[in-house]
Structure 1
């Protein structure tokens, strides 16, 4: 597997990524939302061209490849959002992309990834097949570069550009910058990037119930895996078995604790985002807002909440909206 080990994610790297991304993409809006008498600021990454923040890390990573690396192509691993970000960047840069995706990924994510020209290689997540092993074989066979969904220094820096935008947007509004950031967390790439971008803010990762390996790892001081009997979750974007050392080195220094969102709390957050922000947010993308709405965090006057993605099947989202009638 071809992956550089001599690059480490830094705040300077985040700043570089932010400049690169500003050249090709407009900033996503920072939307006000009243919660418990306070205004929290929702970063609408669901409005990115590929429907999630993953476009940031993908662009920063692929533009850092050498010409020889570009010629050999790249391999990504993803349940769908990273896949679309990598496919978008690869098509724009003329790089061949193969993406390892689970057979049970949402149909909309599979279709969109293929539509952008990537070769999708399916693996059996429900059957216990390891996506990283599949990706390693592909890289070994072709000499391609692995573009991991979160365990990559450039990916972390690219995701951190979201935090750089938040800082600039809040400064422009005279708010002085975020002092609390609540973020959906899978493998920790976005969380680590935000921690680098916003060194003076408290960063709180939120994971779905049963998939809170980062929360437990922070408590234990070492990387722990998701339990073998982890329950099914609608938050497919956050279904990672464990974080990686490159992420955890940052998380354990900057994140004092993590939180968990239940399925009902996630649905409530999706509904509220639709009703009050006019946004379609996928389950994983709504996890941070779910924790905020459930009162699990003491809010401040400068709280930012990341709505990390909006790639959800129409049928699944319709059922979420219908769930309001059951309450």
Structure 2
């Protein structure tokens, strides 16, 4: 059976991209192994898959002792996977992001196995900037991807971001008088967004409103007396169902979120994560807004809590008055996986 390895870890954006490509490969009869780290999402999102968990640590640290420890841990993972590739050599390896891509893709490259990387964000991460030099192709989400040298740009293919088949375009629906708001901050949640929503529950600006709110992680909603139909959830298992239900969305701007929003095409208020590496969520949001043919509003993550509440209330009021712009062009869906697989097969001689 044809065998391939997909590597990703740490964030939902990285892992979901790997799962999307893996889903496409398995539908064609490929045997897939996932390699990931040992963080909570690595276990949660890869549950039930053919997966191996490895120790992997970042190289970005100002502590020389910690850097040495991290290098040693990555080296151990490198030798473990090097031996694994010798026993069961994959046709190719795809890295979708995360520290774990470093040792695993390097091991493949030294064994002359073709390696490919996926960069979902508008700013190329440190690991991918390094791995770009040994990759056959670099698949990027955005045309304006920062951090690419002129040499690496020759390897780039702009394909979008791999998205799960479960996420499909939704039909436009008529506003029925009750504003339905979907709120989420990514797999781990977003304390900033959560606090804004809790304040809005206390003093809603829209008379008839329902909120479905993914709190994330172990965060809990406080006991609040409210006129809003409020449904808190720690994690949303059926995202497509929620997208179909919502009139408008409030979210972060991680790569997988932006990719899904581009398919769903409903007005969105974005709170970029202010601590995102290289400020990539701000750039993700800005480019997404430039390309969208529907309302995309972006909040400066440095605004005060009170100003964030005020701006969010204004967004909801405009939505309730049907003053936001909805797309007139249905989404064609996401065909990124098809493009990635065509390019990989061409480069490994399977086309």
Q: Higher relative contact order at CA 8 Å, sep ≥6: structure 1 or structure 2?
A: 1
> Shorter chain as normaliser: what TM range?
0.3 to 0.5
**The structure with more helix, counted as a fraction of residues:** 1
Q: Higher Cα Rg: structure 1 or 2?
A: 2
TM-score by length of 1: 0.36
